[in-house]
Structure formats: C-alpha cells, structure tokens
Amino acid sequence: MSYRKLGKSGLFVHPIALGTMQFGWTADEPTSFAIMDAFVEAGGNLIDTADIYSTWAPGNPGGVSEEIIGRWMQSRGLRERVVLATKVRGPMGPGGSEGRNHPLQREGLSRAWIMRAVEDSLRRLRVDYIDLYQVHWVDNQVPIEETLSALTDLVHKGYVRYIGCSNFSAWRLMQALWASDKHGFESFVSIQPEYSLTMPTRMNFERELARVCETYGLGVIPYSPLAGGFLTGKYRRDQPLPESVRAQGIASGRFSEQNWKILDKVLEIADRHGAHPAQVALAWQLSRPFITAPIVGANTVQQLQDLLPAAGLQLGAEEIAALNEVSSWPLTRTEREV
C-alpha cells in the first residue's frame, strides 16, 4: 500500500481517511472503537474529527466524537501510528444572549477562541499535540491575519504540527495563502472540501479550487466523497428511500437526472470489477491528480470494510474517461480559455 504525502507537509497518509462525524450519533462508543480498530488494522492512519461533532445528536454537547477518539487512543496506545486531524470554528455552547457579540462566545476564529478551543480539543483527545488543526469554515467577523497568527503560535508552542482549512472558496483560500506569505505565518497544507462524482459538488470544486490546490501544493482530503451515500447504490430510481437519518436530505439534494446517469455508470463499472459501487466512486476520486485521501464514514465495521478496498482498485483509462464524461458540465468560455 502506497501512502500519500499530504500537500507540502511531512505527513504521509493512507489513501482512505476515516471521518468520525457519526461517532456518538449513529455509531455508539463500542461500535466506534471497533471501526477505528478495523481501520488501523487495515493500514489506515488519518482520523478526522471536529470539536462540534456530534452536537446534532439529541442531548449531545460538543466534543463527543473527540472524547470517544481520545478514550480509544488512550486505551490502544496508538498515538504514533495515527495522524489526528480536528477542526475549530463551530459553536461549542451558548455565549450569552448576545450570541457572537458576547465576550464569552464559544465559537469562531478569533485568537481568544482558538487558544481556548485547542486546549479543549487536546484534553478531549487525550493527546499533547494535534497533527492537523483545521479551520472548519470562514469566519467573516475575524480578519484572516488574526486567525493565521493564532494558528502559527499554536505550531510554535508544539500544540499543533500543521494547519489546514475546510469549506473555503478559491478566493478565500488565495487570501489566506497570500496573508501567510506576506506576514510569515504558517500556511495551510491542506483543504477539506465537499467533492464527489455527483453534480454540483464536482463542478463546484474543480472549477477553481482544484487549480489553486494543484498550483500551490495543497493536499485535498474531501468529505462526502460518496455524496452522502448516494454513490453506494442504496438509492435507486423510483424506489422507496432507505432507512437512514440522512435519506430525505440526500433525496432533495442529489436526485437529478444527471446524477442518476452517473450512478448507473458507477454500477456498471462496479459489476465489471465485481466491486462495491462505493469502491468505484472512491477509486475514480483517487485517480484525480489533486486528491490525497477521501474521507469516508462508517456506522459498522462491515461498512468500513466495504470501502477500504477502493485504495487498491485500479480503474482502466476508458472507465475513468467514461465517469469523467457522464459527470462533466458545460464549460464557460472563460473556463475553456484558462
């Protein structure tokens, strides 16, 4: 198994990363432990979480996923084998009736909150450093220079090894890279965008962000590479929705004639290889020159084991071309000329 370098960092990661948004939500702690055990046993090493996971589960405070990972890390003694990634930005509890304007706000990308949030994440994860600390999305109320300055200090303190971002547009990413270069701050080594074969996520990323990442050497660790489960084959035309907490959202956001055609092609190629459709979707993504490691989630060990073989699945040039064609979009004149 060939590990991949994450951007310009010194981190090398397995071609499939493990997302943990479901830990403490649709996967309880024993199941989460079993999933991480299976992931590491298969050679996986990049585990991605965030401080706000899993606040959407009824009764859950923030930090639940980090706490589960921390207890697992401590019980297994695997710190040196795991590339641990987490994120900061989202709301971690009320900051008073004034919300974001309250001096005790527990969210955002201000220096004050980042310094507090990283210590909380380190405590929950039961580690003394985080390999990849990512800003979860843009904070319009804080200058990017303040955020990057704080993150740079975390690297200098040894709390964080590298920094990355998630959900940044191309111009926001360029703004951050320019600020790092101008002021001598630490620079993002990776980005975590939403990206899959389906429309419009493929178009949204490839139109501009992919070019920025290739030009400036950022690693790309996309989330939702299976379009929320759409590309696993469990959704079919004119059939009832599967039992899933996300099914209604997938139906409203993914069901389109072009996406059904994409799924048909994925199923056709999967049948040819005797593979799971999700493996084909991930293998296509891994064939893209700008992709480092798609992030997959699993609610059971079996689901994870259905996905991991994608790292070794080699699609033929004609198959990749067919998937590119069915998931393509009309280029504007400007895009054709760039």
DSSP notation for 216-228: HT-EE--B-TTGG
Percent of the chain with pLDDT over 90: 80
Residue 239 confidence (pLDDT) above 70: no
Residue 332 confidence (pLDDT) above 70: no
Beta bridge partners of 4: 13
DSSP secondary structure code for residue 194 in this structure: B
- pLDDT for the residue 97: 42
> For 205-229, what is the mean pLDDT?
96
Residue 240 confidence (pLDDT) above 90: no
> For 91-110, what is the mean pLDDT?
70
Averaged confidence pLDDT in the chain: 91
Report residue 257's pLDDT band, with 50, 70 and 90 as the boundaries.
confident
> For 196-209, what is the mean pLDDT?
94
> How far is residue 86's CA from residue 88's CA, in Å, rounded to a whole number?
7
- pLDDT for the residue 229: 86
Give the model confidence (pLDDT) of 134-175 as tens digits.
999 999 999 999 999 999 999 999 999 999 999 999 999 999
Q: Taking the model in full, what pTM does it have?
A: 0.93
Contact assessment for residue 198 and residue 262, using Cβ atoms and an 8 Å cutoff: yes
Considering the candidates 53, 195, 223, 235, report the single residue annotated as catalytic: 53
Report residue 249's pLDDT band, with 50, 70 and 90 as the boundaries.
low
- CATH number for 4-337: choose from 3.40.190.10, 3.40.50.300, 3.40.50.2020, 3.20.20.100: 3.20.20.100
Give the model confidence (pLDDT) of 286-324 as tens digits.
999 999 999 999 999 999 999 999 999 999 999 999 999
Say which residues have a Cβ less than 8 Å from residue 177's Cβ, sequence separation at least 6.
Answer: 187, 188, 212, 216
Report residue 238's pLDDT band, with 50, 70 and 90 as the boundaries.
low
Report residue 98's pLDDT band, with 50, 70 and 90 as the boundaries.
very low
Contact assessment for residue 284 and residue 315, using Cβ atoms and an 8 Å cutoff: yes
Q: Is 133 a catalytic residue?
A: no
> For 223-234, what is the mean pLDDT?
90
Report residue 237's pLDDT band, with 50, 70 and 90 as the boundaries.
confident
Question: What six digits make up the tokens of 1?
Answer: 């198994």
Domain boundaries, the chain: 4-337
Residue 48 confidence (pLDDT) above 80: yes
Residue type at 111? R
Percent of the chain with pLDDT over 70: 88
- pLDDT for the residue 52: 95
- pLDDT for the residue 118: 98
Residue 94 confidence (pLDDT) above 80: no
**Element (DSSP H or E) covering residue 214:** helix 209-216
Give the residue from 182, 189, 106, 91 showing the smallest Cα distance to 145: 182
Residue 253 confidence (pLDDT) above 70: no
Contact assessment for residue 188 and residue 212, using Cβ atoms and an 8 Å cutoff: no
Contact assessment for residue 263 and residue 249, using Cβ atoms and an 8 Å cutoff: no
Q: Report how far apart, in Å, the C-alpha atoms of 121 and of each of 100, 197, 222 are.
A: 21, 33, 22
Q: Is 326 exposed, middle or buried (0-12, 13-18, 19+ CB in 10 A)?
A: middle
Q: DSSP alpha helices (H): ranges in 13-60?
A: 29-41
> For 178-189, what is the mean pLDDT?
98
The position carrying tokens 């989202």 is 90
- Rounded to 5 degrees, φ, ψ at 67 are -65, -40
Report residue 96's pLDDT band, with 50, 70 and 90 as the boundaries.
very low
- pLDDT for the residue 22: 94
